[in-house]
Amino acid sequence: MLQMTAPNHLDLEGDFLASPFAELLVEITEARLDGSLRLTRENQKVVVYFNAGEIAFAVSNARSARLFDILMRENKIDKNLLSENPDYAGDFELAKFLIEKNLFDKQEINALFVGQIEEILRGALRWETGEWNFSPLVRIKQGIRFQVNLSKILIEYARGLSGETIFHRFRSSKEVFQPKKTPDLNINLQTHEAFVLSRFSDSQLTVDEIQDIAALPTTVTLQTLYTLWLGGFLIRREWNSAFTAHRLEAISSAHLALKKGDAQAAAIPPKPADIPPPIAPQIVRAEKVSNPVEEKIRLEDYLERVEKSHNFYESLAVETKAAMPEIKKSYFALAKQFHPDRFYKESDADLLRRIQKAFSAIAKAYDTLRNEDSRNAYDFKIRKELAQMQNLQNAGADEIDKRKQTDIATENFDEGFNLLMDENYTDALPFLARAVHLAPDVARYHAYYGKALAADEKQRYKAESELQTAVKLEPENPTFRIILAEFFIEYNLLKRAEGELKRFLAIVPNNYEAQTLLDSLQKK
């Protein structure tokens, strides 16, 4: 099945903590690489073979992934069939036997193999830990090619990830995304995914810029971007990729040299000049901590400290001027001792919730403080907050109450927005209404409250009032203008929609989405 074409001095290896399987699949696909990706977790092994960036085949040592076992689970063959052919050496021999017995035709067998590959991929995507090795010079045998809808698998995977997991996959809010020119249009995007994708036009945007334009909660924005990227709708820049530009260039040079050698006579060995000089295998692993903290603290002490902490430094029990090695050592020691996975047998649901929340807090703290740019920005933020708090204390209790009121409004909006994105309009309304009541000067609260109200025709006039309020508060915000125009279109008020878009374009004449929507209206 395999063809080793040259010594594997170009191999790349690492672990899933630094580079999850899903991200490796995207990198290999985007770079259009040939080769094999070997995955290992304890006694489990998976190998995925690529041809020009597309998955050609996958194998696993798991018994449940064998073709015979899959057919048995799906009740497509009788177990007595094995007695008729007890000596088949593998899946391909079994497939040949099934075709010869006229039990399946070639098309059905191909579909079975595709299902087998997809099952292997979905299983490996569930691995949270493990090691991997990519060898660009190990190829699958010619003729073994199956078409797998990888985009669909990766989108399903990304939608099921927790907000905490997604958060840790971003290096910073300065990462850049841009739309692909020819994405897979055969996938049905969810409402919020299509909404975020539509904000791009043909430009590239940072996470911060997308957050401002889309006016969505941070967790929703990050998960949506990650989903669209894994699914092949977006290109991602300025992130911690496993395959560096230097490594990709070396792999490309090796492939060119191999093709040149293939054109020569088989008996003539390749010249040294045709083969790129050996490169030491690159290792991509999550940072490991040497000399972890020996002293262990009680779980309750840890939870109480994190819950009462006022900033990221207090969460990690380090000084504000602590050096990076000290911050790293503290985080990994705490993560090792108090990771939620260690408490999976705990029956106290409230305690489990506290453990999970505390771990999310220290993980967020470490993720912010380990990067110099984000740490500097955070230090500036807490200095500013301390100054503001001092001013509030000087002003008296009334201002402090207003600050609490703003926080409650934010919590209500986030809850209502998540329900709205799930198209649960009725349940979203009370949360969004409270957000508007508590913070009447925040435009996006009015905009999405109006959007939720618009789902009920009886609330049409109230919905319009809220949308108009959002537009008045932020007249240059394209998102709120588009929502209002779409509201008019939904109720067949096309002239009003056209007028709204023209007024907006008079303020912001180069807005692509507003102009496109206006053009479509004028053609009707």
Q: Report the CATH number at residue 346.
A: 1.10.287.110
pLDDT for position 257: 57
pLDDT tens-digit series, residues 498-522: 888 888 888 777 777 778 778 887 7
46 phi and psi angles, rounded to 5 deg: -140, 140
Q: Specify whether 119 is located in the same domain as 182.
A: no
pLDDT tens-digit series, residues 312-338: 898 899 998 899 889 988 888 888 888
Could you tell me the CA-to-CA distances from 386 to 168, 317, 364 in Å, in that order?
27, 19, 20
* pLDDT tier for residue 483 given thresholds of 50, 70 and 90: confident
Q: Which of 203, 218, 237 finishes a domain?
A: 237
Instruction: Reply yes or no on whether the pLDDT at 252 is more than 70.
Output: yes
The pair of three-digit structure tokens given for residue 241, joined into one six-digit string: 């990729």
> Residue 418 carries which side chain, given as an amino acid letter?
N
pLDDT for position 134: 92
* pLDDT tier for residue 229 given thresholds of 50, 70 and 90: very high
C-alpha 482/C-alpha 201 separation (Å) is 14
pLDDT for position 343: 79
Q: Specify whether 141 is located in the same domain as 63.
A: yes
Instruction: Reply yes or no on whether the pLDDT at 276 is more than 50.
Output: no
pLDDT for position 58: 92
What percent of the chain lies above the pLDDT cut of 70? 83
Residue 408 lies in a domain: no
Q: Domain of 213: which CATH number?
A: 1.10.10
293 compared with 463, residue with greater pLDDT: 463
Residue 156 lies in a domain: no
pLDDT for position 49: 93
Residue 180 lies in a domain: yes
Q: Specify whether 19 is located in the same domain as 80.
A: yes
Range(s) of the domain holding residue 55: 2-149
pLDDT for position 290: 37
> Residue 5 carries which side chain, given as an amino acid letter?
T
SS3 content of the chain, % helix, strand, coil (to 5): 60, 10, 30
Least confident of 26-40, 107-121, 132-146, 432-446: 132-146
Write down the mean pLDDT value for the chain: 79
* pLDDT tier for residue 283 given thresholds of 50, 70 and 90: very low
What percent of the chain lies above the pLDDT cut of 90? 17
343-351: which pairs have CB atoms within 8 A and are 24 or more residues apart?
A: none
Q: Specify whether 318 is located in the same domain as 218.
A: no
Q: Specify whether 42 is located in the same domain as 73.
A: yes
Q: Specify whether 190 is located in the same domain as 314.
A: no
Could you tell me the CA-to-CA distances from 266 to 6, 256, 257, 262 in Å, in that order?
14, 16, 14, 7
pLDDT for position 255: 62
**Do 466 and 429 contact (CB within 8 A), yes or no?**
no
Residue 46 lies in a domain: yes
pLDDT tens-digit series, residues 363-390: 888 888 988 878 888 887 777 666 655 5
Could you tell me the sign of the dihedral formed by the alpha carbons of 290, 293, 298, 303, in that order? negative
* pLDDT tier for residue 285 given thresholds of 50, 70 and 90: very low
pLDDT for position 412: 84
C-alpha 503/C-alpha 486 separation (Å) is 15
Listed in sequence order, the residues at least 6 apart from 473 whose beta carbon sits closer than 8 Å to its beta carbon are 441, 442, 443, 446
Instruction: Reply yes or no on whether the pLDDT at 133 is more than 80.
Output: yes
Q: Domain tally for the chain?
A: 3
pLDDT for position 270: 37
Residue 449 lies in a domain: no
pLDDT tens-digit series, residues 95-113: 888 888 788 888 888 888 8
The pair of three-digit structure tokens given for residue 205, joined into one six-digit string: 């945007």
Q: Specify whether 29 is located in the same domain as 141.
A: yes
pLDDT for position 5: 44
pTM: 0.56
Q: Specify whether 6 is located in the same domain as 114.
A: yes
Residue 64 lies in a domain: yes
Least confident of 36-45, 120-129, 229-238, 396-405: 396-405
* pLDDT tier for residue 268 given thresholds of 50, 70 and 90: very low
C-alpha 125/C-alpha 114 separation (Å) is 17
Residue 48 lies in a domain: yes
pLDDT for position 83: 57
C-alpha 173/C-alpha 190 separation (Å) is 23
Residue 406 lies in a domain: no
Q: Specify whether 94 is located in the same domain as 181.
A: no
* pLDDT tier for residue 524 given thresholds of 50, 70 and 90: low
